[in-house]
Structure formats: structure tokens, C-alpha cells
Structure 1
């Protein structure tokens, strides 16, 4: 009897994804950043499962957090990637060819600029960076959004080019030119013929369902970690969202820069009751 082929990750989670499918994208961060953090959460489970001589392990809450969680998360990452590719082939096929490189360039430029400006000195570029980050925080991974993000980060990086090269000798200034060229290529790409609306809706719901399942697994890990490592904040930091920390920090900077400066104290009023000066 022929051996039954094993299921792909997409096939494994498809029925569950359909059960929790929704029309709205559940993410509050860029798709690729979310998948990267999912991989880090899976790695955290694997690294922190067994206790050590000085630290507890996640194993102690295995009744709530199964030992298979790390593998489940990685499987869901692959399933979500398949669902995302299926959707993009329908609505925005140009992203299949250029999206990965575009996201790499955006991340590299943002990271370099953020490192440069994280010096405790307020300047116009800080406001520009905070504005760009806020504007693109929830951008979908569509060619139009990637085109705008590439243009914005390349423009800011160009204005800071000399300082970026000075603060980081390994910074590749060619990334700025490449980002501009790729932005132009995305903008000039011909539009794909519109797919059937029903196909897009179904592919979108399945992709979103995969993301919901993945978010649930990641949330379970973070709750378990908060319980097990409640007295070890440095360990907890390993599993919390770096993106959310950066986003909150950017929001705080933007708010601080927009806050009105306190008015200068009024000049003291002369005491009219004082005795006249002797002549």
C-alpha cells in the first residue's frame, strides 16, 4: 500500500484557519515583522523549555503550554506564508518578485537612521523619523505601500547620509540608491488584471485566519513566560515584541517634541510698598 503523503503546513492548519477566518487583518504591525517575531517566540520556547541551575523553565507550565508549541508556531509561519503568497498572486503579483528585497531595504534604512538619531539630542530629523514610522506602522504589504515607504526612508537617509557613514563604518550608502530605484520600479509596474472578488475574499479570510492562529500561539507563550519568568525581566524581554517597544518609544518621542514648552516666568513686579530709596 502506497504511503500517504504528509500534509503541508498549509493543509494542516487550513480547517482551523477557516474556523477563525475574518475579513479584517488582525495585525498591528507589518506582516514580515510579525512573522520574524513569531520565529523568535518559537526559538524562545525551545531555548527556555528546560530549567537550569539558576532559572526556571517553561516546562513547569506544560499543562497549559504544550511541548509542541515551538514546532506549531514554525508550522503556522509556513502556513501563513503560503496563504499570503496565494493572496498576493491574486491582488498584487509584483510584490512576489520585489517585496522581500523592498522590506529588507526598508528595515535596513530604518534601523540605521534610528541608531544614528538615538543620541538624546532633539532635532528635526527625529520628528521626521517618528512621522514616517507612525505613517507606515500599519502599512499592508502591497506594492503601493512599499513604494511609499522606500521613498520616505530613502529620502530621510539621503539627508543624513554623511552622518550615517560616520556613525557606522559598515553602512552601505548604495542601499539608499537601490531603495529609490526599487520604489520607482514598484510605481511603474503594470497593474494586474482584477481577480474575481470571491477569490480575493476567500484568500484574504484564510490568510487572516492563519494569522489569528499564530497570534494565539504567540500570546500563549508570552503569558506563560510572564508567569514563569516574572522575577526575571531580562528573560521576559527576549519574548516581548521589539517592534511594539520601538513603536511606543517613537510615539513618546513624537509626543515630547509636540508638547508646548513652558512659558518663561514673568518678571517680578516691583514692591510699591517698599520705602523710597534715600538720596
Structure 2
């Protein structure tokens, strides 16, 4: 995900975000995942704008996809980051201090657990991970949500610590302890100064408006990529949402676990033979 810069991208997009009048959060994935994937889409745009050998380039649909789109996505990411900080300072300032690190630790632990348990062997830990992922699939930016997710993932990782290191020698087991410490810090943080309802609504509308603009740019790139690279699925996969793929896989695992736990039902009987026959 791109890092914040000093250029005032927030001011660049502020009026458009305000005009969007977006009251609801348009994201279908967690905030940090959305920004990370936005950065990946911008990189994809830059990588595949020009054709290379037999591989076509996105520029062939420049009538629909302006060459400035990649830079605009990056700029919007910076603008969203600033808008999110402004909002969190009003409603949950502890997340400004700990949120970025907390989300990094969460992602590292979840990724390590997925790698460990994606071994084709069905065991109780598979069901535990699926349950945790399903419960936290829509984790928000609030400290309470991050606190619970950190605690749950750390507990599962602690029980599998030796195996995590066995399959990945570079896995940092200190992340487990850090997750627990971050969870405690988030839980113990003092309540924020109450902000006025109008302040929160105004900041939320701008943040959501910027997210809407960002999502529109991302959708434009993905739609163009689907057209240009329809015969290059390995390229097209680079611009699709890896989070959505992981969530669908987790949902399938959870369903398979639930189905396996259901008692077998007796086969349905056919219609009874009429006593008038025979």
C-alpha cells in the first residue's frame, strides 16, 4: 500500500468527494485491504499500460481508460488515508496510534496460519481458522474490532506456534506476543473526546466520497483488464481481489466443515406402492 506523502492529495479530491454525497461506506472489503489492493491495481496499470511482445496493453482501450488513471488511483489512496485519519481522530484516536501496526500484525499471522493449514489434511485447526476468518470477515477500523481480531488470531497462532516455525523458518513468533500486547493496548485506551454529530457526519461523508471515487477508478481498470486480457488469465488474476478469493475459500472451508459435522440422513423413500396394484 502506498505510504502517505506531503503533497496535498486530500485537497485535490475534496470537492469531488463532497459532491459525491456518499453517506454509506462503499467498501465490500476491509479498509486496509481496499487500500492495499488499490496500490496493486495502480502498479498493474503501470506494468501493463504498454503492449509487450505478444501481450496486449491497456492503452488499446485508452478511449475508456485514460492514461492518468494509475496516477489518480495513487493520489486517491493518499487522500483516503488523510480523510480516514481525520475521521479517526474524531471518533477513535487510539487507532491512529496503533491501527496500522495492528493490521500489519493481523495480516502476517493470518497469512502464516493459512499457509500452515493449507496442506490438504483436515484437522480441528482448519475449522478454527475458518470460524475466525468468517467471524472477522468484515472487520472494521474501530479499536474494538481490531482488539478482538488480534486476540482471536493470536490465540490460534499460539496453539500452533511450533508448527508455524516448522513450515516457515522465517515466521516471527514474536508477532504472536505483539498481537496480544496490541490487543491489550487497544482495549485499555481511554475513551475519545466526544465529537459533535455534525463533525463526524461531515468527515464520514468526505471519507466515503473519496472511497467511492477510488472504487470507481479501480472498477474501471478491472473492467478494461477483463476486456484486454480475456485470453491471458494469468495476467488478469493479478488485478482481481486476492482478499475476495481468500474469503470465498474460507467460506467454502467453513461450509465443508459444517456439512461434515451434520448427521447423515437416511435416503428418501420412494412413493409407497398402491395396494390396488399387483
TM-score (normalised: structure 2): 0.91
Deviation at residue 265 of structure 1 after TM alignment: 8.9
Deviation at residue 21 of structure 1 after TM alignment: 2.8
What CA deviation, in whole Å up to 9, does each residue of 1:17-51 have, x standing for no partner? Answer: 11223222111111111101000000001000001
1:88, 1:264 → 2: CA distance? 51
Deviation at residue 126 of structure 1 after TM alignment: 1.1
1:132, 1:105 → 2: CA distance? 15
Deviation at residue 144 of structure 1 after TM alignment: 0.7
Deviation at residue 7 of structure 1 after TM alignment: 7.4
**Greater shift in the superposed pair: 255-264 or 31-40:** 255-264
Matches for 1:242-261 after TM superposition, within 5 Å: 242-260=242-260
1:48, 1:96 → 2: CA distance? 35
Deviation at residue 263 of structure 1 after TM alignment: 4.1
1:183, 1:248 → 2: CA distance? 27
Residue 111 of structure 2 aligns to a residue whose secondary structure is helix
Q: Which residue of 2 aligns with 1:270?
A: none
1:157, 1:179 → 2: CA distance? 10
Is it true that 1:33 corresponds to 2:33 in the alignment?
A: yes
2:147, 2:190 → 1: CA distance? 14
Deviation at residue 253 of structure 1 after TM alignment: 0.8
1:135, 1:262 → 2: CA distance? 24
What CA deviation, in whole Å up to 9, does each residue of 1:148-196 have, x standing for no partner? Answer: 0100000000011111011111111111111111101110111012100
**Greater shift in the superposed pair: 18-27 or 155-164:** 18-27
1:264, 1:17 → 2: CA distance? 55
1:95, 1:17 → 2: CA distance? 23
Matches for 1:1-279 after TM superposition, within 5 Å: 8-260=8-260, 263=264
2:145, 2:120 → 1: CA distance? 30
TM-score (normalised: structure 1): 0.90
- Which runs of at least 4 in structure 1 moved beyond 3 Å after TM superposition? 260-266
Q: Which runs of 5+ in 1 are unaligned?
A: 1-5, 267-279
2:104, 2:57 → 1: CA distance? 34
1:250, 1:86 → 2: CA distance? 33
Q: Which runs of 5+ in 2 are unaligned?
A: 1-5, 268-278
Q: 1:194–1:264: structure 2 CA closer, same or farther, 3 Å change rule?
A: closer
Aligned length: 261
